Copies of this chain bind each other. A is one copy, B any other.
Amino acid sequence: MKAEIIAVGTELLLGQIVNTNAQFLSQGLAGLGIDVYFQTVVGDNEARLRQAIDIARSRADLLLFTGGLGPTQDDLTKDALAAYLGRGLVMHEPSMAKIEKLFASRGIHMVESNRRQALMIEGADPLDNETGLAVGNALTADGTHYVLLPGPPREMRPMFEGPAADWLQEITGDMKPLYSRILRFAGIGESSLEAALLPLIDGQSDPTIAPYAKEGEVALRISTKAADKAEAFARIDATVTQIEAVAGSYLYAREDVPIEQEVITLLRNTATTVATAESCSGGLLAELLTNVVGSSGAYAGGFVTYTNGMKHALLGIPMAQLEGPGAPGAISESTAALMAERTREIANTDYGAAITGVAGPAESEGKPVGLVYVAVAARGKPTQTFELQLNGNRSTIRIRAVKQALYRLWRTMGNV
């Protein structure tokens, strides 16, 4: 079955809000084994909405609407679809009773327009609204299925997951649901990963392998339709094994989590801790680690040593290491190593991670933009350092440097 999601609302066309409903419903429909081929946004305008319905009917079997079920004159999704189908609107008495009861209990006068929220297209099934007043509608006409959901996410989500999903499962009773597994990679770029996997991707159509870029990371979604979970994951996991053979050393999670979360989980599971020292990344490594819920047990803290003076004052790195003729300089493998080691010692943690480099826009110490050194110090082990040549603008270089540092830390912790 092919579906089209139609969001109705001028506020979307003005850019006042983001269409998060489309994402939620796309995921939900995929879970029901229904393919979404188009998403459309149209304003609160009956002629243009009818035009959108006409186009969607020609290319989809299921039209899912969000928005336009409220009490105001602008809320015209039901009116427009009823007119399009040549049907009338009827009052759904249980919804009307609920609305009247609510207003009575709050002791306020019910404005007439609130009755509109209890209207149904003739012949439609009602979809209960647990968290709001506007009743949803679901109906089939001339072989096309229509589901009308409210716009506010807190009303739309429970209605979709409850009564709408039940209704959809009934009409698609014979279809197989889609199962998928997300694989997350760090330390490798999207095009390199895709090039490595190209023979695999080209050589098969089921399960499908879909790459997509995250900030400074890459993810793959491995999907298949199957009668049940066991059958699906047998196929999916066989594909995962093939992917692991090619790019296993970059694969850090078999679920959709960022690498900083995986690092915090590993630290907690092994009762170990980390501290950080950052120059060009300016606190972004600390920020990502502490944004993980539960990081306080694993992340002790860190230093942002943006100037040479601070590298000396806070970390005790000799000025002769940082400046002067023949000095390695702040942007060097040996300075990165010293930063990681001194940080680990001062914070008395199991690991220390450090980043120093040139985020741009201008070169520094005569070294080019994108040159970054990452170091990982571990208690009782030799410190490891990595020279990176990153591309992108200032922000991109910073995030890529931080994700590389997290990947190197993850590997140092005994993985791969």
Residues of B within 8 A of A285 (CB): 283
Range of interface residues on A (Cβ < 8 Å):
35 or more
In the assembled complex, A234 has its CB within 8 A of some CB on chain B: no
The answer, among B27, B131, B291, B306, for a CB contact under 8 Å with A282, is B291
State which of B106, B107, B212, B398 has its C-beta within 8 Å of the C-beta of A291: B398
**Is there an interface contact between B306 and A304, defined as CB atoms closer than 8 Å?**
no
Mark the stretch among A48-56, A136-144, A169-177, A375-383 that contacts chain B.
A48-56
Bound: A10/B301 CA distance, A? 40
Contact A210 B10 (CB under 8 A): yes
Contact of A15 with B30 in the complex, beta carbons under 8 Å: yes
**Minimum C-beta distance from A331 to chain B (A):** 12
Partner of A19, one of B22, B299, B389: B22
Interface residues of A in 279-315 (CB under 8 A from B): 281-287, 289-291, 293, 295-296, 299-307, 309-310, 313-314
20 further interface pairs, Cβ-Cβ under 8 Å (given A290-B306, A301-B314): A12-B26, A14-B30, A15-B25, A15-B26, A15-B36, A16-B212, A19-B23, A37-B43, A37-B48, A38-B42, A72-B194, A152-B213, A278-B283, A291-B398, A296-B307, A301-B305, A301-B307, A303-B314, A304-B304, A310-B347
* In the complex, residue of chain B having the shortest beta-carbon distance to the beta carbon of A102: B391
A95 to chain B, nearest CB (A): 15
A 181-195 binary contact with B (CB < 8 Å = 1; else 0): 000000000010011
Contact with B along A392-407 (1 / 0, CB 8 A): 1111101000000000
A26 CB contacts on chain B under 8 angstroms: 12-15
Minimum distance in angstroms from A9 CB to a CB of chain B: 9
- On chain B, the residues within 8 Å of A230 by CB distance are none
Which of B113, B283, B295 is close to A302, meaning CB atoms less than 8 Å apart? Answer: B283
Given contacts A15-B23, A18-B18, A394-B291, contact A389 B107 (CB under 8 A): yes
Contact status A392-B191, CB under 8 Å: no
In the complex, residue of chain B having the shortest beta-carbon distance to the beta carbon of A24: B15
Known contacts A26-B15, A394-B291: does B72 contact A191 (CB below 8 Å)? yes
Interface flags, A264-279, vs B, CB<8A=1, else 0: 0000000000011010
Within 8 Å by CB of A287, from B18, B213, B287, B396, lies B287
